[in-house]
Amino acid sequence: MSTELFFVQLINGLQYGLLLFLIASGLTLVFGVMGILNLAHGSMYMVGAYLVWYFVAITGSFSVFAILSAVIALGLGILIERVLIQRLYNRNHLDQVLLTIGMIFVFNSLQSILWGNDPYGVAVPEALSGSVPFTDNSSYPVYRIFAAMVCIAIAAALYFVVSKTRLGMLIRAGESNREMVEALGVNIKSLYTIVFAIGVMLAAVSGIIAAPMRSIVPGMGESVLITCFVVVVIGGMGSIKGAFVGALLVGVISTFAAVLIPTMSNMIIYIFMILVLLVKPQGLFAK
């Protein structure tokens, strides 16, 4: 591999890793704060992608409806937390797994009923459809650079909120001692609703951003969910910093694996995960 190709692939890997972070961040946030293992997280990614596809198909405008889709996802998150998840805080993980697996089936069926089973694609918005010269032969699409920037911006915003704001302080306090936070008079119920809804929205936003780069197909949520879990387990369950580092590692490693040993590329990230867990059983940044 030439040096040039090495850097090209490194950029590809980082770009993929940033998107993985965006998807995984919601999962790890919800688990870290609320102790809820949301297996339907991938379905939220799917919902985001399908929503934006649907709006673009009928209106042709991406930007406005990307924001609208994110807002709808936020509402959906509040609804799911209030109606379903709230009943599970005092139950064990198995019950949570059962409920959220059930939600996967419900969302997949809804997708099939509402939008059918054809594979779809979303065109890259006009303003971002250009590309910049890259190597002799190829160019780099502006949209993919933009997508990476959005991921970095959201990562920075998440970091800021969690470490610098009052909401973040409550989130961190809730993580370490829920009873104490409640005893201090904080309404933990609405805090949980907010956190869960943000988690859902993050998944949907990743789906929205990924939509023009990926194909929108039934089952897209599950395939992303598994990679997402690898990221979160490597980084340490519940750690946002861990998810960031884990996502970039998985992105870069799987990109190089795909080029160097294509037939085994799917296995490499799992082998990497095993190695990490052998050295750090709780993940890289476990609390």
Partner 1 sequence: MSKIKTLAGAVLATTLTAGLSTSALAAAGDPVKIGVMLPFSGIYAQLGEAGRDGLKLALKEHAEKLHGSKVEFIELDTEAKPSRAPELASSLLNQHEADFVIGPVHSGVAMGMIKMLRGKDTIMIIPNAGSAAATGPLCSPNVFRTSFSSWQPSYPMGKVALEKGYKKVYAISWNYGMGRESLDAFEESFTAGGGEIVEKVLLPFPSTNFQSHVSDIADENPDAVFTFFAGGGAIKFVKDYDAMGLRGKIPLMGSGFLTEGTLQAQGDAAEGVMTGLHYAEQLDVPKNREFREAFNTEYGHYPDIYAVQGYDAGQAIANTIDQLEGDISDKQAVISTMEKLTIDSPRGEFTFSKAHNPIQNIYLREVKDGVNVVQSVAAEALEDPARGCKL
Stretch that binds partner 1, among 97-105, 113-121, 155-163, 275-283 (CB under 8 A): 113-121
Q: What distance lies between CA 159 and its chain's CA centroid?
A: 15
Stretch that binds partner 1, among 36-44, 118-126, 155-163, 200-208 (CB under 8 A): 118-126
Which residues ranging from 152 to 191 are in contact with partner 1 (CB under 8 A)?
A: none
230-259 footprint of partner 1 as x/- string (CB under 8 A):
------------------------xxx-xx
Among 71, 223, 271, 287, binds partner 1 (CB under 8 A): 223
Stretch that binds partner 1, among 33-41, 162-170, 194-202, 214-222 (CB under 8 A): 214-222
Q: How far apart are CA 237 and CA 134, in angstroms?
A: 37
* Amino acid present at 133: P
Q: How far is the CB of 263 from partner 1 (least distance, A)?
A: 6
Task: Measure Cα distances from 38 to 11, 85, 134, 217 in Å.
Answer: 31, 9, 39, 21
Task: Measure Cα distances from 99 to 36, 111, 130, 141, 226 in Å.
Answer: 11, 18, 44, 40, 18
The reply to whether 9 sits near partner 1 by the rule CB under 8 A is yes
Q: How far apart are CA 212 and CA 225, in angstroms?
A: 19
Stretch that binds partner 1, among 67-75, 76-84, 136-144, 238-246 (CB under 8 A): 136-144
The reply to whether 54 sits near partner 1 by the rule CB under 8 A is no
The reply to whether 216 sits near partner 1 by the rule CB under 8 A is yes
The reply to whether 113 sits near partner 1 by the rule CB under 8 A is no
Q: Which residues here bind partner 1, judged by CB under 8 A? A: 2, 4-5, 8-9, 12-13, 15-16, 112, 116-121, 123-124, 131, 134-141, 143-144, 213-220, 223, 254-256, 258-259, 262-266
